Amino acid sequence: MKRYGILGYNIGYSLSPAMHKAAFKKLKLRSDYKIFDVKPDNLDEFFNNLLRSNISGLNITVPYKRKAYEFVKKFGTIDKKAESLEVINTIAIKDKNINGYNTDTLGFMRSLEENLGFNPTNKTVFIFGAGGAGAACAGSLAATVKRIYMFDVDIKKLEEFAKVFSKQWGKSKLIIIKDRRGAFRKAIKESVLIVNASPFGMGKEEMLIDPAFLHKRLMIFDLIYCVTKTPIMKVAKKRGIKAVNGLGMLLYQGMASFEIWTGRKAPVTAMKKALVQALKK
């Protein structure tokens, strides 16, 4: 039996096991998928043991997408797209060879088109969050959008990603916003898409944006999927602004990971059904 799983910290909410187990069952594959909830102090030990384990593949989630990149960069091979972002969310292991990929980019773009109906060509976008998910969103949009604004409460993380991004796309495409004062409001006013790639909305945190800033030309993509409607989505609905959560992105990035691991076409319908059922529990 082949073993797969998702690596992160405090990720008991993850729906990935339900999705992938449904896919294995549909295709009659003798495989299992579990959560590897690893404390930061134990992460190096987990990675050091990975190649000696019988794990065939991993999804990587918060807060380890950059750490996973560093590990695979040292001991294996990184896909070109993931290399440009210095972030991975998928690991495949075969015959002791380890490869890193970023399927978040594909998942985000497909959901953006199919679920939100948004065409990014020559548009201005505002991304909240400079972590692994925010990096994937920015990287997938970079070739087509006019401009990306990015905000994160962690200024160091924000500046570090801006340096990575500029290697591939130059310094003028991404503009970082370091506080929620004048430039912040101006950036939202210019934008036609807001992407929440931060944890805000999973708990009872304050709203990231003053609702008064939300204008009618906006669409909202909230990567959070563990709640059907996040605070910003609820406000958007009241104001007649189209908004979707991250369930579609989760499905499509998972589909891409599954196909990398197995070489089989992912049973998307079965995976989607499992996600919807798991979300209701």
> What amino acid positions are annotated as catalytic residues?
65
195 contacts 127 by C-beta, under 8 angstroms: yes
Q: Measured between alpha carbons, how far is 59 from 91 in angstroms, rounded to an integer?
A: 6
Q: Which bin fits 162, alpha (ψ -120 to 50), beta or left (φ > 0)?
A: alpha
CA 188 distance to own-chain centroid:
21
Burial class (CB in 10 A: 0-12, 13-18, 19+), 207: middle
Q: What is the dihedral of CA 12, 14, 15, 16, to 10 degrees?
A: -120
Q: Rounded to 5, what percent of the chain is helix, strand, coil?
A: 45, 20, 35
- Per the document, the length of the chain is 281
End-to-end CA distance of the chain: 28
What DSSP character marks residue 205?
P
Q: Which two tokens stand for residue 136?
A: 């994937």
CA 75 distance to own-chain centroid:
24
